[in-house]
């Protein structure tokens, strides 16, 4: 594959729920690219559409929710509208998904060895004896001790962190080129979260695999991601290399998100710069910028017309009128 | 696994014991006199005959003594002699029970084979006309009075259409085979005696179908509900994300998980069937436990009543044990308890 | 900022409490016991907040329930303003309960879904025999304190957002004018931007009403922001206790250090890749805690001595103390950040 072509390209993705007059857009024109070996973090609060975006990449949306328009190109091939058999091949073998809740994402009746080996069986990549051997190796590799003896153990015999590792092993068994991890650490203890993230990073480097991580925790993403995509109300409001987004966030929402978490620089006991209000309900969105009602920088134009993503650096984009104006005013072509 | 099964077996013993006590007390609390029933009005008004009767059957002794006698006999495999038939109760039971066992097995097999696919289909197509149709059918099935259905079946298929060979286990021309212990269908199946098997089945299929309507109704609904619950589970989504087709996901991941509660219900239904469906057995002249227990109850035949009660309880307990063990086999979490 | 013990007006005092849960046993030979809380002591002054941080299995929620007398301790004493709680009968308990109230983690499940908000909030008043007019006045008063509009009086919980539900939960806790609030992960289930709002509310209430908090959380940042003092729990023991700032910048106990490095305190620090302390293995089960120091199986500084004796919180009497035979140097974290050889892996 040519070095310039991204592994995954998402363009103008729209995901809706409901039919006819009752349709509500959950994802409103999202676009981004992921290169081979890159780790991209999609960050946002509940309801911002990040999970729907990720699920639409492999067409695993819940019933009633569907992609209404857009493009999802994986290695140049369009996935939206692809034949179901082609999609089934891509799932698991080329693009793997690790889901959010390790407690419920594993079949309680089957041994973990069998579940980890299942993708190999489904995609006919190994014979039976070989499959279990590979499963044992994978489980050992993700940090499960004595994996050969534990192949027949059921999920309930593992702790939360270990179950998450089992899920990761499952996802890796066919050596996918892209891994999508939906909130892989939410609900896990802090010290376990660190282990899981370190594991993901290590695996990525070993296999040259690209990873898309979805999370609500900005600082957690900042630890391991190369690039950050910030979503709000179904749209991308800012994206760029992690270092830049974290050190100098441009979009008022990103700024507020970072500032509302207490840190060493905040005085204990002082009031945090909290955003008023709550994330919007997707059914009642107007034409303007969806963040405007809570935005400290909101102007008149923001309520009328929604801003588009404009470059603010070689690899960074921000969707905000005020930011755009400031840049034009200062005449600078790059951040700082 | 062994420990788990052992625990279950141990728990059976006190229950069986309790059953004997309760049944004993209950059947003796009934304010009716077997002597009166057996001897008739004239005989029971004669004190000498009465005394002889009571003496013979040990009815004069105090209750606890009667009970202890009973238990001692029980442990020797002696269930007493039926007041009515004058035969050992064990012989009676051995004669009538196999017929019920075969009938229930047949009815249960039909139920399972029909309800599980039907229930799964209804769940997979929930909300569509397929689902509505199946649900309506099951409702009808479980609401129809069994005795009416039995009569109707005989009427239509025997009297009018002549397809059914009629009541009874075997055609009048066929001699009951010896050495089968009463298990005509099972033995003839295993020995390859197809003509006998054919005859037995052609008789058994009708009452079995009638009996199964109720359990089909219930099992299908339960299957549907459980499948629906399971279909929403996250691990199905995980399987899809690995590239599995929908049918595979439903059958390999969904169904086994849904089966657990269904198994419990199936076990109980089976035990229910084995307790003897009195009306069906009567209408089809099926010589089973249902018939026997009815006679025993109405004639206050204590030994027979106790014998049937004990048998039925044992059957229920055995079914529960089987279900528990199956649970332990399928779902390891159960073994923790 | 160090707190001087003598000048404190002490409100809550917990002395060496122990709570074990027997595990269900049938025909088993060994009855297995969950060592939830072992030998835990701490104090909270009036108007002060103590944060209990730890992961799952640390025992922090059990400690909270013991303080609230929702569980009975197996051993130890608890004093609320001088009143000993563990031996209190039901009458005494009823009298003292208004002085300590609770706020829970999941607002959706801690509010009765079939009751309108006003009923949820006034229930404690009913229980304690307040008249109808007084109840109404107090409910309106407390709604204002938490920043909920009066128009939410008659709505059902599911009609409110997560942040509003949590405010309702806090209102319910405040309605009897308690002195101590035991809050078990009150902001963990909320979105980040809402979390900040509720935190601000808690800070304001603490100042205005001179409330004390026993604040349980797994989130160090939030805890540091709200609480003057912090106690770190691991597997039923308190392994370190001290003033928030001191604890997080110069932790003494290796576990505290790993918690701190797992959760960066500032966005700027978040870019420090490769400096996180990754602990080995999973937390041991509370059914069979390791002998000696319970943290030794995952500790990067463990020695043979750690298996033999159980370390106590030392130096005794100091404001910042840790239970460790080999406590860290004060500059441990800073040295790691700079990448100096004092760090571990």
Residue B141, pLDDT score: 85
For the segment A32-79, what is each residue's pLDDT rounded down to a tens digit? Answer: 999 999 999 999 988 888 999 999 999 998 888 999 999 999 998 999
Low-confidence residues of chain B: pLDDT under 70? 27, 30-44, 56-60, 179-180, 275-276
Provide the mean pLDDT of chain A: 87
Task: Quote the strand ranges of C128-196, DSSP E.
Answer: 180-184
Q: Could you give the maximum distance between any two Cα atoms of chain A, in Å?
A: 67
Indicate whether B195 belongs to any domain: yes
Indicate whether C335 belongs to any domain: yes
Cα B214 to Cα B206: distance, rounded to the nearest angstrom: 14
Residue B81, pLDDT score: 78
Indicate whether B90 belongs to any domain: no
Indicate whether C336 belongs to any domain: yes
Indicate whether B85 belongs to any domain: no
For chain B, how big is the Rg over CA atoms in Å? 24
Residue C273, pLDDT score: 38
For C303, the token pair is 């020695």
Which residues in chain C (244-273) have CB-CB distances under 8 A to chain A?
A: 244-245, 248-249, 258-259, 261-271, 273
Answer whether C188's CB lies under 8 Å from C218's CB: yes
3-state secondary structure of A155: helix
The percentage of chain A sitting over the pLDDT mark of 70, rounded to a whole number, equals 96
Answer whether C16's CB lies under 8 Å from C77's CB: yes
For C126, the token pair is 């009913």
For the segment A293-303, what is each residue's pLDDT rounded down to a tens digit? Answer: 888 888 888 88
Residues B60, B116 within the same domain = no
Cα B257 to Cα A108: distance, rounded to the nearest angstrom: 8
Range of the domain at C302: 251-345
Range of the domain at B70: 2-75
Count other C-beta atoms under 10 Å from residue C69's C-beta. 17
Residues B133, B242 within the same domain = yes
Residues of A in contact with B233 (CB under 8 A): 104
Residues B111, B69 within the same domain = no
Chains with at least 3 CB pairs less than 8 angstroms from chain A:
B, C
Count other C-beta atoms under 10 Å from residue B331's C-beta. 18
Please state the rounded mean pLDDT for residues A140-161: 87
Answer whether A135's CB lies under 8 Å from A166's CB: no
Please state the rounded mean pLDDT for residues C139-152: 92
Question: Which residue from C200, C261, C270 is facing A271, i.e. has the nearest CB?
Answer: C200
Residues 6+ apart with CB under 8 A from B173: none
Q: Kindly list the distances between the CA atom of residue A120 and the CA atoms of A204, A207, B84, in Å, as whole numbers in the listed order.
A: 20, 17, 68
Q: Pick the range with the lowest mean pLDDT from A139-153, A298-312, A315-329, B154-168.
A: B154-168
Return the higher-pLDDT residue of B269 and C241: C241
What size, in residues, is chain B?
337
Residues B39, B120 within the same domain = no
For A276, the token pair is 């008023």
CA nearest to B337 within chain C: C26
Burial pattern B51-72, b for ≥16 Cβ within 10 A else e, equals: eebeeebebeeeeeebbeebee
Cα A218 to Cα B171: distance, rounded to the nearest angstrom: 81
C3, pLDDT greater than 50:
no
**The CATH number of the domain where B156 resides is what?**
1.10.3720.10
Indicate whether C299 belongs to any domain: yes
Residue A180, pLDDT score: 95
Q: Kindly list the distances between the CA atom of residue A132 and the CA atoms of A129, A139, C64, C136, C233, in Å, as whole numbers in the listed order.
A: 6, 10, 46, 67, 40
Count other C-beta atoms under 10 Å from residue A129's C-beta. 8
Cα B228 to Cα B254: distance, rounded to the nearest angstrom: 9
User: Strands of C83-84's sheet, edge to edge?
Assistant: C33-45, C10-22, C75-80, C83-84
Indicate whether B176 belongs to any domain: yes
Cα A225 to Cα A39: distance, rounded to the nearest angstrom: 5
Query: In DSSP terms, which residues pair with A43 in a beta bridge?
Result: A215, A230
Indicate whether C196 belongs to any domain: no
Indicate whether C272 belongs to any domain: yes
Cα-Cα-Cα-Cα torsion B246, B250, B251, B253, nearest 10 degrees, comes to 110
Cα C296 to Cα A166: distance, rounded to the nearest angstrom: 26
Indicate whether B80 belongs to any domain: no
For the segment C17-53, what is each residue's pLDDT rounded down to a tens digit? Answer: 999 887 655 545 455 788 889 999 999 999 999 999 9
Indicate whether B290 belongs to any domain: yes
Cα A220 to Cα A207: distance, rounded to the nearest angstrom: 22
Question: Which residue from A89, A93, A99 is facing B238, i.e. has the nearest CB?
Answer: A99
Chains with at least 3 CB pairs less than 8 angstroms from chain C:
A, B
Cα C237 to Cα C233: distance, rounded to the nearest angstrom: 6
Return the higher-pLDDT residue of C334 and C67: C67
For A320, the token pair is 């905000």
Residue B43, pLDDT score: 63
In sequence order, which ranges of chain A are alpha helices (DSSP H)? 50-57, 84-93, 112-122, 128-141, 160-172, 190-207, 218-224, 242-247, 252-259, 300-304, 321-330
Residues B170, B217 within the same domain = yes
Residues of A in contact with B255 (CB under 8 A): none
Residues B24, B122 within the same domain = no
CA nearest to A87 within chain B: B243
Chain centroid to CA A309: 19
Cα A174 to Cα C331: distance, rounded to the nearest angstrom: 45
Please state the rounded mean pLDDT for residues C250-261: 88
H-run or E-run covering C48: none
Residue B124, pLDDT score: 85
Indicate whether B240 belongs to any domain: yes
Domains in chain A: ranges and CATH: 8-232 (3.40.50.300)
Residue C274, pLDDT score: 40
Which residues in chain A (193-232) have CB-CB distances under 8 A to chain C?
A: 193-195, 198, 216-219, 222-224
Among candidate residues A91, A111, A25, the one with its CA nearest the CA of residue A287: A25
Is residue A267 exposed (0-12), middle (13-18) or buried (19+ Cβ within 10 Å)?
A: exposed
Residue C343, pLDDT score: 38
Residues B12, B149 within the same domain = no
Residue C5, pLDDT score: 42
- End-to-end Cα, chain B, rounded Å: 11
For the segment A245-301, what is each residue's pLDDT rounded down to a tens digit? Answer: 888 889 999 998 888 888 766 778 788 888 888 888 888 788 888 898 888 888 888
Q: For C269, which DSSP code?
A: G
pLDDT band at C268 (very low <50, low <70, confident <90, very high): low
Residue C2, pLDDT score: 38
Please state the domain count of chain B: 2
Residue B325, pLDDT score: 87
Cβ C27–B7 below 8 Å, yes or no?
Answer: yes
Cβ C26–B7 below 8 Å, yes or no?
Answer: yes
Residues B66, B201 within the same domain = no
Return the higher-pLDDT residue of A29 and C317: A29
Answer whether C148's CB lies under 8 Å from C197's CB: no
Q: Does B129 touch chain C (CB under 8 A)?
A: no
Among candidate residues C215, C217, C124, the one with its CA nearest the CA of residue C171: C124
Cα A279 to Cα B10: distance, rounded to the nearest angstrom: 59
User: Strands of C229-234's sheet, edge to edge?
Assistant: C100-103, C180-184, C212-217, C49-53, C229-234, C237-243, C321-322
Q: How are beta strands C49-53 and C229-234 bridged, if at all? A: parallel
Cβ A272–C270 below 8 Å, yes or no?
Answer: no
Residues B33, B102 within the same domain = no
Q: Does C197 touch chain A (CB under 8 A)?
A: yes
3-state secondary structure of A67: strand
Which residues in chain C (201-240) have CB-CB distances under 8 A to chain A?
A: 203-204, 207, 218, 220-222, 224-228
Residue A168, pLDDT score: 93
C307, pLDDT greater than 90:
no
Domain C-terminal end among B75, B107, B125 = B75
Indicate whether B83 belongs to any domain: no
CA nearest to C280 within chain A: A195
For C137, the token pair is 């006045």
| Preceding amide of A57 cis, omega within 30 | no
Please state the rounded mean pLDDT for residues C75-80: 93
Chain C: which residues have CB within 8 Å of chain B?
26-27
Cα angle, residue A265 at apex, residues A260 and A267 outer, rounded to 5° = 80
- Token pair 């998100």 in the structure block, residue: A257
Residues B68, B158 within the same domain = no
Q: Does A192 touch chain C (CB under 8 A)?
A: yes
Residues of C in contact with B337 (CB under 8 A): 26
Residues 6+ apart with CB under 8 A from B276: B100, B288, B289, B290, B291, B292, B293, B312
Residue A33, pLDDT score: 93
Residues B172, B201 within the same domain = yes
Answer whether C121's CB lies under 8 Å from C175's CB: yes
ipTM, 2 dp: 0.84
Mutate to test the interface with C, among A264, A265, A294, A296 (most CBs of C within 10 A): A264
Residues B26, B102 within the same domain = no
**Shortest Cα distance, chain C CAs vs residue B336, angstroms:** 10
Residues 6+ apart with CB under 8 A from B250: B120, B124, B227, B231, B236
Cα C171 to Cα C146: distance, rounded to the nearest angstrom: 6
């Amino acid at each position: 594959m040519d070095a310039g072509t991204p592994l995954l390209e998402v363009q103008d993705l729209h995901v809706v729920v409901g039919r006819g007059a009752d349709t509500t857009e959950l994802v409103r024109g999202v676009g981004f690219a992921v290169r081979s070996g890159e780790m991209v973090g999609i960050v946002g609060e509940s309801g911002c559409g990040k999970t729907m975006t990720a699920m639409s990449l492999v067409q695993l949306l819940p019933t009633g929710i569907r992609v209404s328009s857009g493009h999802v190109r994986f290695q140049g091939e369009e996935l939206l509208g692809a034949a179901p058999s082609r999609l089934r091949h891509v799932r698991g073998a080329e693009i793997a998904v690790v889901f959010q809740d390790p407690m419920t994402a594993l079949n309680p009746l089957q041994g973990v060895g069998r579940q980890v080996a299942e993708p190999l069986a489904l995609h006919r990549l190994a014979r039976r004896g070989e499959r279990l051997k590979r499963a044992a190796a994978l489980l050992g590799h993700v940090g499960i001790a004595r994996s050969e003896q534990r192949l027949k153990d059921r999920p309930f015999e593992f702790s939360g962190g270990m179950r998450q590792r089992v899920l990761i092993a499952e996802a890796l068994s066919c050596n996918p080129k892209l891994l999508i991890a939906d909130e892989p650490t939410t609900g896990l203890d802090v010290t376990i979260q660190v282990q899981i993230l370190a594991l993901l990073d290590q695996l990525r480097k070993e296999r040259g695999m690209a990873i898309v991580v979805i999370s609500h925790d900005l600082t957690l993403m900042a630890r391991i991601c190369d690039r950050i995509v910030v979503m709000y109300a179904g749209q991308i409001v800012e994206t760029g290399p992690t270092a830049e987004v974290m050190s100098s966030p441009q979009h008022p929402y990103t700024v507020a998100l970072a500032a509302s978490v207490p840190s060493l620089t905040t005085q204990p006991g002082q009031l945090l710069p909290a955003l008023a209000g709550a994330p919007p309900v997707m059914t009642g969105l107007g034409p303007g910028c969806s963040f405007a009602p809570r935005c400290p920088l909101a102007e008149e134009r923001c309520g009328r017309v929604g801003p588009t993503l404009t470059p603010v650096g070689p690899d960074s984009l921000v969707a905000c009128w005020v930011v755009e104006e400031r840049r034009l005013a200062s005449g600078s072509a790059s951040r700082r | 696994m062994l420990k788990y099964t052992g625990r279950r077996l141990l728990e059976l013993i006190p229950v069986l014991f309790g059953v004997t006590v309760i049944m004993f007390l209950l059947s003796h609390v009934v304010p009716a006199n077997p002597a009166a029933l057996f001897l008739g009005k004239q005989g029971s008004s004669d004190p000498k005959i009465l005394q002889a009767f009571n003496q013979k059957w040990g009815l004069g002794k105090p209750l606890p003594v009667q009970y202890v006698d009973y238990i001692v006999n029980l442990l020797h495999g002696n269930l007493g002699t039926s007041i009515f038939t004058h035969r050992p109760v064990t012989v009676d039971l051995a004669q009538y029970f196999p017929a019920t066992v075969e009938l229930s097995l047949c009815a249960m097999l039909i139920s399972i084979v029909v309800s599980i696919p039907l229930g799964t289909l209804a769940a997979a197509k929930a909300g569509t006309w397929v689902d509505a149709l199946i649900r309506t059918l099951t409702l009808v099935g479980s609401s129809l009075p069994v005795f009416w259905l039995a009569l109707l079946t005989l009427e239509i298929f025997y009297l009018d259409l002549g397809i059914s060979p009629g009541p009874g286990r075997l055609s009048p021309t066929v001699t009951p085979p010896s050495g089968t212990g009463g298990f005509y269908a099972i033995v003839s199946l295993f020995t390859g005696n197809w003509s006998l098997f054919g005859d037995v089945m052609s008789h058994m299929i009708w009452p079995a179908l009638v009996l199964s309507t109720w359990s089909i109704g219930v099992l299908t609904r339960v299957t549907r509900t459980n499948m629906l619950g399971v279909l929403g589970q996250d691990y199905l989504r995980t399987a899809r994300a690995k590239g599995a087709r929908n049918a595979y996901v439903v059958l390999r991941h969904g169904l086994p998980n849904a089966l657990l509660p269904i198994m419990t219900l199936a076990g109980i239904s089976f035990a229910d069937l084995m307790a003897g469906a009195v009306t069906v057995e009567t209408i089809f002249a099926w010589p089973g436990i249902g018939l026997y227990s009815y006679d025993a109850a109405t004639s206050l035949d204590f030994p027979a009543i106790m014998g049937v009660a004990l048998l039925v309880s044992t059957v229920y307990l055995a079914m529960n044990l089987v279900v528990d063990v199956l649970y332990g086999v399928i779902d390891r979490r159960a073994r923790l308890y | 900022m160090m707190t001087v013990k003598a000048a404190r007006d002490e409100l809550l005092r917990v002395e060496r409490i122990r709570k074990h849960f027997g595990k269900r046993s049938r025909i088993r030979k060994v009855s297995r016991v969950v060592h939830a809380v072992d030998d835990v002591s701490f104090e909270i002054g009036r108007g002060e907040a103590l944060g209990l941080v730890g992961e799952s299995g640390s025992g922090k929620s059990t400690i909270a329930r013991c303080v609230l007398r929702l569980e009975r301790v197996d051993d130890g004493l608890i004093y609320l303003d001088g009143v000993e709680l563990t031996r209190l009968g039901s009458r005494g308990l009823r009298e003292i309960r208004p002085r300590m109230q609770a706020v829970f983690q999941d607002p959706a499940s801690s509010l009765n879904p079939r009751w309108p908000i006003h009923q949820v909030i006034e229930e404690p008043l009913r229980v304690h025999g307040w008249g109808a007019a007084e109840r109404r006045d107090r409910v309106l008063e407390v709604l204002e304190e938490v920043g909920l509009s009066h128009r939410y009086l008659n709505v059902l919980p599911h009609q409110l957002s997560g942040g509003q539900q949590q405010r309702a939960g806090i209102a319910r806790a405040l309605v009897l004018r308690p002195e101590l609030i035991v809050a078990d992960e009150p902001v963990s289930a909320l979105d980040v931007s809402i979390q900040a709002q509720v935190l601000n509310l808690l800070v304001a209430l603490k100042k205005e009403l001179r409330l004390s908090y026993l604040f349980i959380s797994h989130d160090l940042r939030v805890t540091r922001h709200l609480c003057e003092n912090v106690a770190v729990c691991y597997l039923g023991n308190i392994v370190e206790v001290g003033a928030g700032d001191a604890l997080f910048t110069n932790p003494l106990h290796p576990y505290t250090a790993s918690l701190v490095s797992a959760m960066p305190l500032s966005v700027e620090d978040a870019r420090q890749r490769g400096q996180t302390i990754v602990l080995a293995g999973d937390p041991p089960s509370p059914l069979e805690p390791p002998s000696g120091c319970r943290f030794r199986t995952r500790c990067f500084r463990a020695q043979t001595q750690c298996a033999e004796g159980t370390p106590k919180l030392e130096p005794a009497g100091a404001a910042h103390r840790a239970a460790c035979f080999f406590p860290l140097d004060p500059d441990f974290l800073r040295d790691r950040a700079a990448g100096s050889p004092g760090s571990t892996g």
